[in-house]
Amino acid sequence: MRDDAFRAYFERQHTSLSRLAFLMTGESSAADDLAADALTEVWRHWDRVQAADDPAAYGHGILMNLARQWVRRRGRERLLTFGMSPGTQESRDVPAVLDVRGALRKLPHRRRACVVLRYAFDLSEREVAATLGISVGAVKSATSRGAKQLAGLLGGAVTRIDGWEAAR
């Protein structure tokens, strides 16, 4: 019974978790690994997941935490690759052609998370707040600032992202 319930959850959520991980990291190989890690954690805490008001949001929350850790680790690796230690000075990438994934990667984690969950996953502000463990006000603020920053990075154009639009 437990195995069947988890299998059904896995089948319903795997694609969504992979897509969310891709939008948060911009890398398909990392997205697959993070989705698998998130589902492993869901299995480990299956009783809590099933008891949650929204089991899908529980899984998204796990994935968001894993993605944040991945992004931080990746940033530290880049600093060390450039021979810099965290806190000494900022590493600036050479400007490249901006695409949506590249622009999303430039947003701070919370803004990126709010923008992706609100627009790509069409979650309500309350659902995003529950997923990220923050207040609805924080979601509104981060989403507004993130959308404005994203529009600025994209030159103010209306851009389609995986079926959703980020407006000016």
DSSP sequence for 95-153: P----HHHHHHHS-HHHHHHHIIIIIS---HHHHHHHHT--HHHHHHHHHHHHHHHHHH
Q: What are the extents of the domains in the chain? A: 1-92, 96-168
Q: pLDDT tens digits for the chain (168 residues)?
A: 778 999 999 999 999 999 999 988 888 889 999 999 999 999 999 999 999 999 999 999 999 999 988 887 776 565 444 444 444 444 443 333 336 778 888 999 999 999 989 988 888 999 999 989 999 999 999 999 999 998 888 776 544 444 444 443
Query: For the domain 1-92, what is the CATH code?
Result: 1.10.1740
**Fold entry, domain 96-168:** Arc Repressor Mutant, subunit A (1.10.10)
pTM for the predicted model, two decimal places: 0.59
